[in-house]
Amino acid sequence: MTQYFTEDASVETVNARMGKNINPRLALVMASLVKHLHAFAKEVHLTQAEWDYGIDFLTKTGEICSGERQEFILLSDTLGFSMLVDAINNRRPSGATENTVFGPFHVDGAPELPMGSTICLDGKGEPCLFQGRVVDLDGKPIRGARVDVWSDNADGYYDVQQPDLQPKWNNRGVFVTGEDGAYSFVGIKPVSYPIPDDGPVGQMLAHLGRHPYRPAHMHYLVTAPGFEKLVTHTFVGGDTYLTSDAVFGVKSSLIAPFNQVKDGNTAWVSPFDFVLTPV
């Protein structure tokens, strides 16, 4: 094989330049990346103008990133790549609750609240009681599970997207289960919303004839000693965007009941149990 670059031997030439004593996992991952990247350019016969456009797109994607905005994660999400990596790394036994995309709007340090507390602080939206149990694969309650929840407000924005308009920690909270594994809190019936689409990823979606909407959902991060971390949502059945989620996060097992109730201040009840997998 020639040490000089040729179109035919492009992959072998690039990969042969790797040193002998490098991290074996790095060598494997990079060799495969180069192989598939070159195959992509060859398959579509990538033009120079198209690659210049691609470089410009990636540059703009980087430039819009900040402490509050992660456009590369949005890119990964909208290409289905986040869900693919998640699926590869979270193959669960049947009966265990499935993972879905984490998203960019989780904030560490949300207040730990007594069971049954209200997390909606802006008074907007239709109150909804979320309740259920955190259990193991045998249905036994898990004590000491941390149920960290977050959702958008009734206008479709997370508190961190509107720091001047929404109270801090609006629609967020952490609930720790007791002996019975039960959790409950009052939030709002979530509403569908567009992911941030004023940057390069939004333009990409528009060029591809795709909308930026996510179906209404409540986010959960459930952790307990001795069990795998569960990153998931529950979705509102019947949402217009269930089958066209901009980030491919919907799984049928995660569509939860939302039952309308007539009494008290609560308009809806959404029961859902989380089944954790042992580590």
247, 250, 255, 276: which one contacts ligand BEZ (CB under 6 A)?
247
Total number of residues binding ligand BEZ (CB under 6 A)? 9
CB closer to ligand BEZ, 49 vs 88: 88
Find, among 88, 86, 113, the residue nearest to 232 by Cα. Answer: 86
Among Fe ion, ligand BEZ, none, partner that 182 touches (CB below 5 to 8 angstroms by kind): none
- Least separation, in Å, of the C-beta of 235 and ligand BEZ? 11
Q: Considering only residues 34, 74, 230, 242, which one is a binding residue for ligand BEZ as defined by CB under 6 A?
A: 74
Among Fe ion, ligand BEZ, none, the one that 247 touches (CB under a kind-dependent 5 to 8 A) is ligand BEZ
Instruction: Tell me the window of 28-36, 98-106, 119-127, 180-188 that interacts with ligand BEZ (CB under 6 A).
Output: 98-106
Site for ligand BEZ in 196-225 (CB under 6 A): 214
Largest CA-CA distance found in the chain, in angstroms, rounded: 78
Among 103, 125, 202, 215, binds ligand BEZ (CB under 6 A): 103
CB half-sphere exposure, 75, CA atoms < 13 A? 18
Which of 104, 132, 141, 194 is in the footprint of ligand BEZ by CB under 6 A? 104
Judged by beta carbon, residue 136 or residue 152, the one nearer ligand BEZ is 152
Binding flags for Fe ion, 97-116, as an x/- string (CB under 5 A): ------x-------------
CA angle, 108 then 114 then 120, to 5°: 65
CB of 99 to Fe ion, least distance (A): 14
Cβ-contact 173, 111 below 8 angstroms: yes
Stretch that binds ligand BEZ, among 39-47, 51-59, 100-108, 127-135 (CB under 6 A): 100-108
- Decide whether 103 or 181 has the Cβ nearer to Fe ion: 103
Of 134 and 250, CB closest to Fe ion = 250
- Cβ at position 13, least distance to ligand BEZ in Å: 38
Residue 195 lies near ligand BEZ (rule: CB under 6 A): yes
Count of residues in contact with Fe ion, rule CB under 5 A: 1
96: contact with ligand BEZ by CB under 6 A: no
DSSP collapsed to 3 states, the chain: CCCCCCCCCHHHHHHHCCCCCCCHHHHHHHHHHHHHHHHHHHHHCCCHHHHHHHHHHHHHHHHCCCCCCCHHHHHHHHCCHHHHHHHHHCCCCCCCCCCCCCCCCCCCCCCECCCCCECCCCCCCCEEEEEEEEECCCCCECCCCEEEEECCCCCCCCHHHCCCCCCCCCCEEEEECCCCCEEEEEEECCCCEECCCCCHHHHHHHHCCCCCEECCEEEEEEECCCECCEEEEEEECCCCCHHHCCCCCCCHHHEECCEECCCCCCCEEEECCEECCEC
For ligand BEZ, the closer of residues 12 and 155 by Cβ is 155
Residues 193, 209 contacting (CB under 8 angstroms): no
Q: Which residues bind Fe ion (CB under 5 A)?
A: 103
Q: Which residues bind ligand BEZ (CB under 6 A)?
A: 74, 77, 101, 103-105, 195, 214, 247
